[in-house]
């Protein structure tokens, strides 16, 4: 929730100040070149950093008829004011070592004068100064809210400078450059704000006149200028100005202004008459001027120019991001929520998930279906809905995106009047630790609703992968018998050519529940891993059937249950060894055997055991594996028994727990898990991985059970482990 507060204020501040900010940045860039051009003038003498006033003053006095003031500017150019031998007014840069005149200061160029006035006051005097000051303050707030957004995006201050996930050009560089120029921009804004406050007298910078006791002024002992202790101890580089006594009267004195104080000095004895430290407000004003103008350092001036340039880029990219986000919002629906059969819910922070939702929506409309697309927060009762598709991103630490924050409450408030088949599709990036966590939570939440019927297992899409989106589309299409061709825009990868596979064996139906095993060998040894999917086109049309692959002895083994009138299962059942099949191997990375897990728990029911058979067979490193299997009859398991017993004897499988639902104690695999709750909880705590494959109803039970186990044993939720790839699922 807080994310949106910062984002809205960041945007609102930017909108309200961008015109003046643009003007201030452009003029600021130009003004940065003033100190740079000044520093290139040849009036700086290196000796200025070592010489003291006591060394310089006698030299200068000898060279110039009359000096009224000596000043050392931000460029460390030494300048004197006075009069020349003819008594005319004189201002000159001098060499403090030799007393030679180096040149006459030229007045500030009219161009820079003009730009400075525009930058400070827009030529509007007091009103202009106020608006510029306000703009500086708004920039300060923008910087702060931007920093908060980066901290939230990066999940914490300590990860502030870690990698940024690239969404698009504007977003990526807005964040990258934002981090880099954060400090200079913050200083520009802060010093600008302070200078405005000082200008309007809101911080006390009033001057204090020296308080001199004229009755106590001594005219003796007379000392030479070079012997004045205070001048001997003052380096020229520390001097701002030295005002010379107006006349030779003993009551006229030297006024020495240093960076932090003002000292008055008796012109005859060299005694200090008074010393005033400047108030902090004055020191801060000077520091702000140094920081805001870059007058003391050419390098800092360049940094300021670059930072100002960045502000212009932020204005551009910030609005580009906003336009994009707006453009991706829900457009007008053709059908109302009340009449639609298909409901598409979208949870999106920056709008990219909308593209996918729109693709689905348009596809359904094209097929003449009534489809309604809306944000999660608009969830309500959908009286005619048969299908619910929930697409969502995750934001922050596994939180809901801004437009999905109210979903949790609304789903309890608006139960659907009749069963709705749902499917959840999560969008995210593995670059973040909480991959698709909110999608997992939505999936769990839906699973608990009595009206909700799972249609296909939750799918995730990493970095907008068209292939992964395609995987969901295929699965969904298979269940609904509605074509869901993924448009070329989303699916850039060309459809892979079909693979030719030769049937090597087929057990045919031997079990009462119709389960059989079929093995295929690829003609070309293609890269395939247990957990991948085999896509078959039994009728040579758009209808696709997906089967989980177990790789055993370099062959693809499928475990299939013959369904009465089943298109895919009937086709496979009829195959005999030697026959060839055309199919496609679909990589299914999220359900591969984990490479690093200390221990793996496999939970399957029925034919869901197929990928696990392959994984166990390939478990060369002897990673401890615990298999929990649920079957209808003891006989259903017979096809796997020999292989698993053998695997156990060579430690590829650690142990085996079985439940039969239609004979004996009539138990389900979830009962086995409930029994071993402590063990399962411990697996998750010690970074073990739980893999689930089988029917969606089994998955629903097991996940509900795991939720309880997690809450009580680990204090975290299932979605946490799902998003951290410790609970992997592939169900149908």
Partner 1 sequence: MPNLLKIGLVALSIIVSRPSASVAQSGTTQYKCMIQMTNYMGEKAYIAVSLMNGKGTYEKTLYVLGSDKKWYPDVKAWYKALGKKTPNLSAITGASVAGGDRSVIVLEIDNSKLNKDYKLRFESAVEDKEDHAKDLEIPLTTEGLSAKSEGTGYIRYVRFSPNSPN
Binding footprint of partner 1 on the chain (CB under 8 A) = 65-66, 68-69, 81-83, 85-89, 91, 107-108, 113, 117, 125-126, 201, 205-209, 243, 246-247
Q: Count CB neighbours of 81 within 10 A.
A: 19
Nearer to partner 1, 74 or 117 (CB): 117
Shortest CB 259 distance to partner 1, Å: 16
Give the nearest distance from C-beta 206 to partner 1 in angstroms.
6
Q: Minimum CB separation from partner 1 for residue 14, in Å?
A: 30
Assign 377 to helix, strand or coil: helix
> Which residue bears the tokens 């529940």?
513
SS3 of residue 255 by DSSP: strand
Six-digit token pair at 282?
């004055």
Report in angstroms how near the CB of residue 237 gets to partner 1 at its nearest. Answer: 21
What does the block give as tokens for 677?
């709750």
Q: From CA 582, how far away is CA 151, in angstroms rounded?
A: 51
Task: Tell me how far apart the terminal alpha carbons of the chain are, to the nearest angstrom.
Answer: 34
Dihedral of alpha carbons 179, 180, 184, 188, sign: negative
Nearer Cβ to partner 1, position 206 or 489? 206
Question: What whole-number distance in Å separates Cα of residue 719 and Cα of residue 396?
Answer: 14
CB of 126 to partner 1, least distance (A): 5
Contact indicator for 549, 585 with CB cutoff of 8 Å: yes
DSSP 3-state of 685: helix
Q: Residue 369 and residue 335: Cα distance in Å, rounded?
A: 10
By C-beta, is 125 or 666 nearer to partner 1? Answer: 125
**Which residue's CB is nearer to partner 1, number 195 or number 364?**
195
Considering the complex, state which of residue 86 and residue 527 has its C-beta at the smaller distance from partner 1.
Answer: 86
Q: Give the strand pairing for 101-103 and 89-94.
A: antiparallel
Helix 696-709 to helix 437-448 angle, to the nearest 10 degrees?
110
The secondary element (H helix, E strand) that includes residue 392 is: strand 387-392
In angstroms, give the least distance from the CB of 199 to partner 1: 8
Encoding tokens for residue 22? 């643009």
Least distance from C-beta 240 to partner 1, angstroms? 11
CB of 158 to partner 1, least distance (A): 45
CB nearer partner 1, residue 79 or residue 363: 79
Contact 269, 245 (CB under 8 A): no
CA distance 465 to 119: 48
Question: Smallest gap, in angstroms, from Cβ of residue 326 to partner 1?
Answer: 42
Would you say 209 or 540 has its CB closer to partner 1? 209
Radius of gyration of the chain from its Cα atoms, rounded to whole angstroms = 39
- Cβ atoms 417, 707 nearer than 8 A: no
Min CB(247)–partner 1 separation in Å? 5
Q: Which of 7, 711, 726 is nearest to 401 (CA)?
A: 7
DSSP string covering 468-534? HHHHHHHHHHHHHT---PPPTTT--SPPPPPEEEEEEEE----STT-EEEEEEEESS-----TT-EE
In whole angstroms, the minimum distance from the beta carbon of 246 to partner 1 comes to 5
DSSP 561-603: EPPTT-HHHHHHHT--TT-EEEEEEE--GGGSPPSS-S-EEEE
Comparison of 81 and 519: residue with beta carbon closer to partner 1: 81
Nearer to partner 1, 112 or 335 (CB): 112
- Residue 81 or 626: which CB sits closer to partner 1? 81
Closest CB to partner 1 among residues 93, 382: 93
At residue 339, the 3 state secondary structure works out as coil
Q: Which is nearer to partner 1, 246 or 323 (CB)?
A: 246
CA 419 to chain centre: 38
According to DSSP, residue 396 is labeled: T
Cβ contact 607:559 at 8 Å: yes
Q: Give the shortest CB-130-to-partner 1 separation in angstroms.
A: 11
Give the residue with the Cβ less far from partner 1, 255 or 529. 255
CA distance 571 to 565: 10
Cβ of residue 255: shortest distance to partner 1, in angstroms? 8
């Amino acid at each position: 929730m807080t994310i949106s507060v910062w984002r809205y204020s960041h945007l609102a501040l930017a909108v309200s100040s961008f015109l003046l900010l643009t003007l201030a940045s452009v003029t600021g860039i130009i003004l940065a070149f003033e100190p740079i051009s000044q520093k290139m003038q040849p009036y700086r003498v290196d000796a200025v950093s070592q010489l003291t006033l006591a060394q310089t003053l006698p030299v200068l006095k000898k060279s110039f008829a009359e000096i009224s003031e000596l000043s050392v500017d931000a460029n460390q150019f030494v300048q004197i004011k006075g009069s020349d031998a003819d008594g005319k007014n004189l201002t000159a840069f001098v060499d403090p070592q030799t007393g030679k005149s180096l040149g006459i200061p030229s007045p500030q160029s009219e161009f820079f004068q003009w730009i400075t006035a525009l930058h400070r006051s827009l030529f509007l005097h007091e009103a202009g100064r106020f608006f510029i000051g306000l703009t500086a303050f708004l920039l300060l707030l923008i910087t702060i809210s931007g920093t908060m957004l980066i901290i939230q995006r990066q999940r914490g201050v300590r990860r502030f400078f870690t990698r940024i996930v690239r969404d698009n050009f504007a977003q990526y560089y807005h964040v990258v450059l934002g981090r880099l120029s954060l400090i200079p921009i913050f200083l520009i804004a802060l010093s600008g704000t302070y200078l405005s406050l000082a200008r309007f007298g809101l911080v006390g910078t009033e001057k204090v006149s020296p308080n001199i006791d004229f009755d106590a002024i001594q005219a003796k002992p007379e000392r030479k200028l070079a012997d004045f202790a205070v001048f001997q101890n003052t380096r020229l580089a520390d001097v701002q100005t030295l005002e010379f006594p107006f006349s030779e009267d003993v009551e006229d004195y030297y006024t020495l202004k240093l960076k932090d104080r003002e000292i008055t000095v008796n012109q005859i004895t060299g005694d200090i008459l008074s010393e005033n430290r400047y108030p902090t407000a004055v020191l801060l004003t000077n520091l702000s001027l140094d920081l805001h103008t870059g007058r003391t350092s050419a390098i800092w001036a360049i940094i300021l120019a670059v930072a100002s340039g960045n502000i212009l880029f932020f204005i551009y990219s910030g609005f580009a991001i906003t336009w994009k986000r707006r453009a991706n919002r829900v457009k007008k629906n053709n059908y109302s929520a009340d009449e639609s059969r298909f409901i598409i819910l979208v949870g999106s922070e920056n709008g990219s998930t909308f593209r996918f939702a729109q693709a689905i929506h348009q596809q359904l409309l094209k097929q003449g279906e009534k489809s309604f697309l809306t944000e999660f927060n608009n969830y309500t009762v959908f009286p005619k809905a048969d299908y619910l598709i929930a697409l969502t991103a995750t934001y922050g630490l596994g939180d809901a995106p801004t437009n999905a924050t109210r979903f949790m409450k609304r789903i309890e408030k608006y139960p659907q009047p009749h069963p709705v088949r749902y499917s959840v599709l999560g969008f995210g990036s593995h670059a973040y630790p909480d991959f698709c966590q909110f999608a997992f939570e939505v999936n769990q939440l839906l699973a608990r609703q009595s009206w909700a019927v799972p249609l296909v297992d939750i799918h995730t899409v990493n970095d907008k992968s068209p292939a992964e989106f395609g995987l969901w589309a295929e699965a969904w299409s298979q269940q609904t018998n509605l074509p869901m061709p993924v448009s070329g825009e989303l699916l850039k990868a060309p459809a892979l050519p079909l693979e030719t596979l030769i049937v090597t064996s087929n057990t045919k139906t031997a079990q009462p529940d119709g389960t059989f095993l079929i093995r295929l060998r690829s003609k070309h040894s293609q890269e395939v891993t247990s957990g991948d999917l085999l896509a078959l086109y039994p009728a040579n049309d758009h209808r696709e059937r997906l089967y989980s692959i177990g790789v055993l002895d370099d062959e693809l083994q499928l475990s299939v249950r013959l369904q009465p009138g089943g298109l895919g299962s009937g086709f496979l059942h009829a195959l005999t060894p030697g026959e060839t099949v055309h199919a496609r191997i679909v990589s299914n990375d999220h359900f591969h055997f984990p490479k690093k897990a200390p221990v793996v728990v496999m939970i399957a029911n029925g034919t869901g055991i197929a990928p696990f058979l392959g994984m166990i067979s390939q478990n060369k490193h002897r990673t401890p594996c615990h298999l929990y299997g649920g079957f209808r009859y003891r006989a259903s398991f017979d096809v796997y028994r020999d292989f698993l017993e053998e695997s156990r004897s060579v430690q590829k499988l650690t142990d085996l727990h079985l439940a039969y639902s239609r004979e004996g104690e009539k138990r389900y695999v979830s009962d086995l898990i409930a029994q071993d709750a402590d063990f399962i909880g411990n697996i998750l705590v010690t970074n073990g991985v739980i893999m689930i494959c089988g029917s969606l109803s089994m998955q629903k039970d097991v996940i509900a059970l795991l939720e309880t186990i997690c809450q009580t044993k680990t204090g975290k939720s299932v979605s946490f482990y799902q998003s951290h790839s410790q609970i992997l699922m592939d169900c149908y």
